Structure 1
């Protein structure tokens, strides 16, 4: 029934194992781990402290760089009209700036020491890139949920991005310094303790480990925390494709069309488009053909039963969607598909660009950026979207597919009390440890490196505050560039006003 049935595009084949393949030293370490006893693996983890003292993780690295220049480089190739919106969203606060400037921290971390244990990491594990979503079995879980920057890298880089995000968010929210210290320390200790438990798990036990909302309720320290988790579960239950349909689309003559809401949502070839005339979006037939070709390539990255499932849907509409903070300006489409019962499926088609991690840490992995995202997500998450896949799109851009929402929820951090924020930090530390343990197969070594004491947590707490200060300096430079006109920054409201009559 699916209307796109053009000839198939060649598929770039790969696997999780390919993405997990590391640099020569790391690969040798993995092979050794397969034959070593647990005692020998623990000894190897402790030995890593010789060249990577845990106290040295307090260093923030080489910050002798021009943040404006790096941000400009990171904006190259994006939709030109949307780059000012990216900067506008980053300008809201030091925390939104941090969310959109992963390239700066990756640059800085590249000059710091690490334990030598590298594998596919999230690459952007700040506190807003965790959340709840439904598994294919409709179970609500908490996990990492953004993998645009996934790449082979030192596991410490993920932990440091998480630690700094709590310090930066806490300062933005006006949380007392001592309380922020407790919050960061809580996340770090939870990561250490969970990694210690995962070091005792078999490979299959790690693969099946999942952080459900029911388990979160069980470990919640306060009644307020349990109540908040229950409310989140109720909210997630209402974020379905059917509930989105009436809010996002209108039915005309038996066909659904997505409503324009520029700059956040618009039709590529419509009067509200921000893509520019040179993109040939106005040539509807030409672009439909190219997108159909890309969709067929995507289908070939799915399992046969998923292809059969999608064959029961018909494409009704396509719109351009502006997402997040750091992703603003990248190509992102929303496909609205409907089955014979009139029930919808929203698919998000998101451009995948080279990871900022791979720019500063060299490791093997798929050359197709969409495949990199999909295989990394499948490796790190406990359970992934049924419709994850990748393709080559128009103009040589590389994309990956996923469902638009499907019970997805994010934490409303700015509305959290200090107590709740500390509980959230604990859950994030847990989820990150689970992801790293599964993806690496090196929980034994990482746990032995961390040890049972406070040295790593203390160093990461110092790092978090030091990097929060560096982030503020970068934010100040960025804001001066915006005010002087060196960079153009526009808010959503400013851009929306351009389309009002």
Structure 2
């Protein structure tokens, strides 16, 4: 008598038929629709700032105000809102939720292989796989416009990413469950698959750079030693001690009392350790805490609580851990999924499911004031692309890499490669729809950005640059 670990498994042919039938629910050509854009972007952005450190919200807006592209990066809530009523296939599983082109990058697996993958999971939650694809497509159109690429070139970037996603998903549909689960998009494979010499050169330099970005390589840059103990250097607004003279957190009582919040942080760390496997706890037990600082990261995350812990082992070699606040996902808000019990656990579970290989120190805990946090390494051979330096050829190659990595992540997390591949087919209907979507959403992003800029100029929103914030404090 045949037995299966999971009951009710369908044959591959039956799953293909399910995928083809989904075209009746959501025509591939219907994905050009950008959704419900008759809304107040300012109010949505204000809503997404609730609960953040108030003193840092102006910096969030200041970073968003730099360009339409930085605005796009910081306004995931707008696109999630707009996608709510658009056609979708009904295939939902934990998606990245913010799969724009700068949320991909290179990093080391625990086995020290360099891979290219999604690297930001603050918005991860069950949602339609199409939302991730549309976020990527729109980001390529916005970035292309920022770089003054022609309309034809931008269409090419989007088409490259979508066709790579389609073709890789077709490959994964033919692989076994374990083959998909263990698939790695390594930098070596990407170098071999690069279509141009420029692409190979860029990837080779990225690989070399990643190999040098270790905890030890940044210790002397980020910290200094006094009386046998390491202390991180204040560099406001990017890094500062919460209760120190360069703090950007104001006179809030929960930060000004250094001893009190350090004790609370110690309790949070103990809760975090309980979410790790025993061997990881044993590994962390070989390090001694040296210092804790507040770090302001990214664009969309500015204002959320983010701390960096510096610890060293008996050889005085460092380990940097990041403690980052996790708030409710925009996917959860607008797709209608049930709220989770712990936002930090949501991020960690989603990252482990979507990434090919995740940080061995990933964990979560509830911290002071009931805030939810997740833990990870701050640096471990991590590298990201500098979009500003990409020409059309290299951006097109990068788009291909992102399409490949996103397909791999979805194939693993959703276990629906067969259905998605059958839905997409081998034609160009979905690609053409996504090109139209990307252009339309880039136009909408421009409109929202201009309204945002007007709000900043009028004083409706306060926006301050990094330079403005740094000038208020001494180092």
Per-residue Cα deviation, 1:302-328 (whole angstroms, up to 9, x for no partner): 000000000000000000000000000
Displacement after TM superposition at 1:34 (Å):
4.5
- Number of the residue aligned with 2:144: 170
Shift of 1:276: 2.7
Alignment of 1:269-348 (within 5 A): 269-348=243-322
- Of residues 429, 434, 451, the one that matches 2:425 is 451
Q: Take 1:421 and 1:347, find their aligned partners in 2: how far apart are those partners?
A: 32
Match of residue 438 from structure 1:
412
For residues 353-382 of structure 1, give each alpha carbon's deviation from its aligned partner in whole angstroms, at most 9, with x where no partner exists.
000110011225741000000000000000
From the superposition, tell whether residues 106 and 32 of structure 1 become closer, same or farther in structure 2 (CA, over 3 Å).
farther
User: Secondary structure at the residue paired with 1:250?
Assistant: strand
Counterparts of 2:252 and 2:66 in 1: how far apart (Å)? 31
Residue 184 of structure 2 corresponds to residue 213 of structure 1: no
Report the equivalent of 1:151.
125
Which residue of 73, 78, 100 maps to 2:47? 73
Structure 2 distance, partners of 1:498, 1:407, is 33
Is 2:458 the partner of 1:477?
Answer: no
Q: How many Å apart are 1:398 and its aligned residue?
A: 0.5
Structure 1's 206 and 364: CA in aligned 2 closer, same or farther, altered over 3 A? farther
2:94 alignment partner, SS class: strand
Find the counterpart in structure 2 of residue 190 from structure 1.
164
Which residue of structure 1 lines up, in the alignment, with residue 382 of structure 2?
408
Q: How far apart are 1:32 and its partner, in Å?
A: 10
Q: Deviation of residue 414 (structure 1)?
A: 1.3
Q: Is the 8 A contact 2:342 2:372 kept in 1?
A: yes
Question: In the TM superposition, what is the alpha-carbon distance from 1:93 to its structure 2 partner?
Answer: 0.4
Can you list the C-alpha shifts for 1:50-78, whole angstroms capped at 9, x where unaligned?
02001010000000100000000000111
SS at match of 2:154: helix
Q: Is the 1:151–1:365 Cα contact (8 Å) retained in structure 2?
A: no
CA distance in 1, matches of 2:138, 2:248: 34
- How far, CA to CA, are the matches of 2:176 and 2:39 in structure 1? 44
Corresponding residue of 1:249: 223
* Farther off after superposition, 152-161 or 407-416: 407-416
Distance 1:136 1:119, change over 3 A: same
2:189 is the counterpart of 1:201: no
Structure 1 199/405 Cα, relative in aligned 2: closer, same or farther at 3 Å? same
Unmatched runs of 5 consecutive residues or more in structure 1? 1-30
Deviation, structure 1 residue 432: 0.2
Instruction: Name the CA distance, whole Å, in 2 between partners of 1:121 and 1:428.
Output: 15
Q: Distance in 1 between matches of 2:18 and 2:461?
A: 48
4+ residue segments displaced more than 6 Å: none
Q: Which residue of 1 aligns with 2:335?
A: 361
C-alpha contact (below 8 Å) 1:173/1:414 kept by paired residues: yes
Any conservation in 1 of the 2:332–2:339 contact (CA below 8 Å)?
Answer: no
Listed one character per residue, the Cα deviations across residues 284-343 of structure 1 (whole Å, up to 9, x for unaligned) are 222121111100000000000000000000000000000000000000000000111000
Q: What residue in structure 2 maps to residue 387 of structure 1?
A: 361
Distance 2:440 2:67 in 1: 18
Q: How big is the shift at 1:271?
A: 1.2
Counterpart selection for 2:99 from 122, 125, 133:
125
Which SS does the other structure have where 2:256 is aligned?
Answer: coil
TM-score by length of 1: 0.93
Q: TM-score of the superposition, structure 2-length normalised?
A: 0.98
Which whole-Å deviations, capped at 9, do the CAs of 1:214-238 have from their partners, x for residues lacking one?
0001100111111111111111111
Structure 2 distance, partners of 1:228, 1:283, is 47
1:498 and 1:282 mapped to 2: Cα distance?
18
**What residue in structure 1 maps to residue 394 of structure 2?**
420
> Structure 1 residue aligned with 2:17, among 43, 60, 68?
43
Residue in structure 2 matched with residue 140 of structure 1 by the alignment: 114
Deviation at 1:116, TM superposition (A): 0.3
Contact 2:327 2:372 in 1 (8 A): yes
Gap regions ≥5 residues in structure 2: none
**Equivalent residues, number:** 471
The answer to whether structure 1 residue 494 and structure 2 residue 468 are counterparts is: yes
CA contact (8 A) 1:152 1:365 kept: no
CA distance in 2, matches of 1:91, 1:124: 19
Secondary structure of the structure 2 residue equivalent to 1:35: coil
Cα 1:279–1:443 shift into 2, 3 Å? farther
- Who is 1:83 aligned against? 57
Question: Distance between the aligned counterparts of 2:338 and 2:11, measured in 1?
Answer: 27
Matched position secondary structure for 2:255 = coil
8 Å Cα contact 2:125-2:350 kept in structure 1: yes
Distance in 2, matches of 1:476 and 1:67, equals 11
Partner of 1:13: none
* Distance across 2 between alignment mates of 1:271 and 1:355: 34
For the 8 Å contact 1:265–1:321, the answer to whether it is kept is: yes
CA RMSD of superposed structures (Å): 1.2
The separation in 2 between residues aligned to 1:428 and 1:36, in whole angstroms, is 30
Look up the SS of the partner of 1:281 in the other structure: helix
